[in-house]
Amino acid sequence: MSTSKNLILPYNLSMKQLLFLGLLYLLTIPFAEARLIGGNLADKNSYRSTVYNGSCTGTKIGPKTLLFAAHCFLDSDTRRLKTQYSNNARFILETHYGVFYPVTVENVYTHPTYAAELIRLARVRQSDFSVGSGSYDVAIMKIKEETPSIPVGTIDYSPSEIGDDVIIGGYGCEDTATILSKTKGHRFKVAAVKVEPDPQISRVQGQNSANMYRFNFFTTGIKKDARAASICPGDSGGPVYRNRKVIGVNATYLFLDRSGVAQYNAHARLADIKDWIESIPQ
């Protein structure tokens, strides 16, 4: 894979900002093309609507509209937007093919079921690890700038089916050690997995698979199949592709031991919330 980069910049950046972007450039040059646990490095010519905001993976779905997971933006304690993503906050929007844009937040819309779940869990003092298990963990961010070198991705609102072949992607962990330490690889990986039925796990680590299945569909994790992939911090909000169209968002995962490595990945069902997504101003 070529390591050439195309840096898209406005003309009014300070020297400090340019140095920061230069550092990002160096950090994102691939070190190797080897097999990664949880997937392979994505080809620079594929999945080009995928973006990274410094903490979560997302998808560009409109000229100024980005699709993420709600937990990327809402503080689980205060139930307010995290400061770094509040209105008029600025951050660097990154791609895996060398395009970067400094952008400004105009607004963040989180699905109403997610905020309601945060309130419910706070009342019963339940661990926030299960947030997203009982809601649509989806958010849409509007930014003020256009990003013309990043193509718009397409959402497929037809439901996922058990056995579907899908591609999951994200900027998260790259090996078992980093999964355990919850660090991020900062490189975009993809993996081919299958949509799984509800594993019918009654309750583990504060999660209930039947409740999760109402809002999410499952895919195979590496704890179930070593050839599959497991999502973890950094992959949150990442797209699930079926025939190169987005059908889900990386939301959470289901693990059966204390390793924190997923037996199953959970992805918010976009088919269920078409009306809400299309109600957000483009």
DSSP letter for 11, please.
T
Topology agreement, domain 15-36+48-152 and domain 165-271: yes
Strand residue runs (E) in 7-84: 40-41, 50-52, 57-62, 65-68
- Report in angstroms the alpha-carbon separations of 257 from 223, 232, 252: 10, 15, 15
Q: If DSSP codes are grouped into helix, strand and coil, which group holds residue 115? A: helix
pLDDT at 189: 92
Q: Residues 6 or more apart from 90 whose CB is under 8 A from it?
A: 102, 103, 104, 105
Residue 69: closest CA among 265, 267, 275, 258: 267
Chain-centroid distance of CA 10 in Å reads 26
Q: How confident is the model over 184-233, as pLDDT tens digits?
A: 557 899 999 999 998 876 555 555 677 788 899 999 888 888 888 888 88
pLDDT at 124: 56
pLDDT at 117: 80
Pairwise CA distance, residues 52 & 27, whole Å: 13
Residue 250, strand partner residues? 267
CB 245 within 8 A of CB 158: no
Q: Residues 6 or more apart from 232 whose CB is under 8 A from it?
A: 38, 172, 173, 179, 182, 253, 260, 261, 262
pLDDT at 23: 42
pLDDT at 49: 98
pLDDT at 4: 33
Give the residue ranges of the chain where pLDDT is below 50: 1-12, 15, 18-37, 177
Superfamily of domain 15-36+48-152 in CATH is: Trypsin-like serine proteases (2.40.10.10)
Pairwise CA distance, residues 179 & 7, whole Å: 30
pLDDT at 250: 95
Q: If DSSP codes are grouped into helix, strand and coil, which group holds residue 272? A: helix
Q: What is the maximum span of the chain, computed from C-alpha positions, in angstroms?
A: 56
**Which CATH number among 3.40.50.300, 2.40.10.10, 2.130.10.10, 3.40.50.1110 corresponds to the domain 165-271?**
2.40.10.10
pLDDT at 184: 54
CB 247 within 8 A of CB 167: no
Domains of the chain by residue range = 15-36+48-152, 165-271
Question: Exposed/middle/buried for 76, CB within 10 Å: 0-12, 13-18, 19+?
Answer: middle
Strand residue runs (E) in the chain: 40-41, 50-52, 57-62, 65-68, 90-94, 100-110, 139-143, 165-170, 189-196, 216-220, 239-242, 245-254, 264-269
Residue with tokens 């996922």: 160
